[in-house]
């Protein structure tokens, strides 16, 4: 891969141009990293405090009793956003929706268990077990390269 930078005083904002003979995994990775360069701010409430939650600390995000919770290494927070809003902001290579009510951080997964017929069990690094819905299995398997 070649990288070329041109300085132009008339250019008001950066412009990225990719010239290639075909779209490869490397090109897709560059596109994803450039499009995800926006900063993600998620604020969560724990007891009477509001804290900023870093995406790297998130283990899973789930909804229960009409509230959305973010589980992190530092505890559990309630947030005001809906799951689809958070999903749009997070890196889709690290965070994946496994059901209508849950998103997991793939970097916080201990292992996937395929021994149950028709379902996938997910063991998180904090010891919790969750399950992938049938609707989301195909997408998860594609992300995992299966």
Residue range 34-68, pLDDT digits in tens: 765 555 678 889 888 898 888 889 999 999 999 99
Contact 105, 122 (CB under 8 A): no
Per CATH, the number for 42-144 is 2.40.50.1020
Locate all alpha helices (DSSP H) within 36-133, ordered by sequence.
83-89
**pTM for the predicted model, two decimal places:** 0.69
| Sequence ranges of the domains in the chain | 42-144
The tokens describing 28, both together, are 């897709």
C-alpha angle 109-134-65 in degrees, rounded to nearest 5: 75
Which range in 5-14, 38-47, 111-120, 128-137 is most confidently predicted, on average pLDDT? 128-137
Tokens at 67, concatenated: 């509230």
């Amino acid at each position: 891969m070649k990288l070329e930078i041109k300085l132009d005083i008339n250019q008001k904002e950066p412009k990225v141009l990719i010239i290639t003979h075909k779209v490869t995994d490397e090109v897709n990775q560059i596109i994803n990293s450039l499009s995800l360069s926006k900063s993600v701010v998620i604020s969560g409430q724990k007891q009477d405090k509001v804290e900023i939650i870093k995406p790297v600390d998130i283990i899973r995000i789930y909804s229960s009793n009409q509230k959305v919770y973010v589980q992190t290494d530092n505890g559990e927070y309630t947030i005001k956003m809906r799951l689809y809003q958070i999903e749009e902001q997070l890196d889709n290579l690290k965070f994946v929706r496994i059901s209508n009510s849950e998103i997991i951080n793939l970097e916080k997964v201990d292992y996937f268990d395929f021994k149950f017929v028709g379902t996938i069990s997910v063991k998180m690094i904090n010891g919790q077990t969750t399950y992938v819905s049938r609707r989301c299995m195909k997408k998860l398997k594609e992300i995992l390269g299966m």
